[in-house]
Amino acid sequence: MGARLSVFAVLTWSALAMATESPKYEVLKKYDGFEVRQYAGFVVAETEVEASRGEAGNQAFGRLGGYIFGGNTAKKEIAMTAPVTQSQRIAMTSPVTQVASGSKWVVQFSMPSSWTMQTLPVPNDARVTLREVAPKTMAVLRYSGTWSEANYVEHLDKLKKRVTAAGLTTVGEPVWARYDPPYTPWFMRTNEVQLELAPTPAP
């Protein structure tokens, strides 16, 4: 089983290297060190993995790669897009509070715009689900370099401080976006940390 998942991961990363489509967005404003984007709605295939941040991505690639390479009810292949995104799963408690679960992660592949929730085939793997993501506004900091925890945390901290300094309010959990396969030299990789912005109150 492990070897099978490894094959899927390699194939999927290779597909990522050839990916050309990304979720559509408009840059609303450029700040010092980050930009605010308005994303249109899009559909994702996603899976939840309980593991470390790095291992979660590896496990998810086997599941999601299986889906886009024909592991679905129609046995159809679906083009890979970029980036691959990963965010922490938040557990709800009672009374209504939110608690971060350090070992649960949601990894997503966005689906090509030619597909919809109505036309996408159903995944064979029940751990893979399809979901429509509503339009949203994101603060985004792009950076290069390794996928290490330290590099991610460093840039996330920078983004949080810059967003706060700009007087903006965020909601939800940070999103980590990777645009390149692992064999891309570390200094040539395109990575992002993203924070969703709260809606601006009506005047």
pTM recorded for the entire structure: 0.85
Residue-level pLDDT at 54: 79
Asked whether the predicted pLDDT for residue 194 surpasses 60, the reply is: yes
- Rounded-to-integer distance, Cα 177 and Cα 190, Å: 9
Residue-level pLDDT at 57: 84
Asked whether the predicted pLDDT for residue 139 surpasses 90, the reply is: yes
Tokens of 37: 């984007």
Q: What is the pLDDT of residues 96-130, one digit of tens each?
A: 433 344 578 999 999 999 999 999 999 999 999 99
Q: What is the pLDDT of residues 142-192, one digit of tens each?
A: 999 999 999 999 999 999 999 999 999 999 999 999 998 888 899 999 999
Give residue limits of the domains in the chain: 2-197
Q: What is the pLDDT of residues 46-68, one digit of tens each?
A: 999 988 887 888 889 889 999 99
Crossing angle for the helix pair 53-68 and 2-18, nearest 10 degrees? 80
Which of these, 174, 169, 165, 163, lies nearest to 200 by C-alpha position?
169
Residue-level pLDDT at 66: 93
Residue-level pLDDT at 59: 87
Amino acid at 76: K
CB 71 within 8 A of CB 13: no
Instruction: Name the range with the highest mean pLDDT among 3-7, 101-105, 137-141, 170-174.
Output: 137-141
Q: Tell me which CATH code domain 2-197 carries.
A: 3.20.80.10
Find the angle CA(5)-CA(7)-CA(12) to the nearest 5 degrees. Answer: 95
